[in-house]
Amino acid sequence: MTSEIKTGSLQMIAAMLISGTIGALVVLSGQPIANVVFWRCVFAAITLFILGVVGGNWRSHLSRRVVIIAALGGVALVVNWMLLFAAYSRTSIGLATVLYNTQPLMLVGMGVFILKEKVSYSKWFWLGISFAGMLLVLSSGLSHNGSNGWLLGVIMALGAAFFYALTALITRQLKGVPPQQIALVQVAVGTFALLPVVDFQQSMSYGSWGIVVMLGVVHTGIMYQLLYGAIQKLPTSITASLSFIYPIVAVIVDRFAFNHSMSPIQFAGGAMILLAAAGINLGWGEKRKPEAALAKG
């Protein structure tokens, strides 16, 4: 293992471990979802700006076209966070995160219907596996607790995955632009977009402030720096493989922090979804090289 791959692997592992604890912090903050996302954007923008200034390249590629496209992606990113965070309390952090990992599969679907891309037989196979997994998850939930907002939570988690995939699709148009600059524009746009819905009268304890600061600084600004640094150093196969640390950590944290566990049927369905996502990201069954894995969270 070369020094670069070792460093990149450690960066990727750290980024995924950080991502896996986002759900717990959102729930523990005790704040309205709009407030959590707003303050996450605020502190993330400050962090990314400082890191960019220190690195000397915070606006090297920020032309008018780049800012407009990145801003559109920022709107989709904020909607994605809003839906995902709202899903946590309606299903569970673990299950919502697993469903959220249908992102690469939705990106494939967008490529087919929006960009008219051709899809190989292997990708259709993995899409089928993912759909079967979702049916298992739905069948289990509807038979046990679907009446308590559970189904709405599932729809929100899948909606979050859709908007994240839309963010990725938009960001594809910005090849060559440093990801940190794209992220800075996105969270800055998120800050202004959420101003009308933030409840500034909501009381916040020191603990709540600590959590939203951590979400912005560590779980967005620093995490994105680690993630982008890893992607630049690692082969796609390693990046995609290590990305599945994120949902595994989320399920474990949910179990020990909130005593939430997935039923055997939900676990089987979730495993099928993650397997399908791995198949898409790693290009299993493909003759050509797999596409780059997406950043999450």
Name the packing angle between helices 103-113 and 121-144 (round to 10°): 130
pLDDT the model gives residue 293: 44
For the stretch 119-175, pLDDT in tens is 888 888 998 999 999 888 887 766 555 556 888 999 999 999 999 999 988 988 888
Query: What residues have CB less than 8 Å from 102, skipping those under 6 apart?
Result: 130, 134, 158, 161, 273, 277
pTM of this structure: 0.89
For the stretch 243-262, pLDDT in tens is 999 999 999 999 999 999 88
Q: What is the pLDDT along the chain (297 residues), one digit of tens a residue?
A: 688 999 999 999 999 999 999 999 999 999 999 999 999 999 999 999 998 898 887 788 889 999 999 999 999 999 999 999 999 999 899 999 999 999 888 888 888 888 788 888 888 899 899 999 988 888 776 655 555 688 899 999 999 999 999 998 898 888 888 888 999 999 999 999 999 999 999 999 999 999 999 999 999 999 988 988 888 888 877 888 889 999 999 999 999 999 998 888 889 999 999 999 888 888 888 875 544 444 456
- What are the b/e assignments for 89-113, b being 16+ CB within 10 Å? bbbbbbbbbbbbbbbbbbbbbbbee
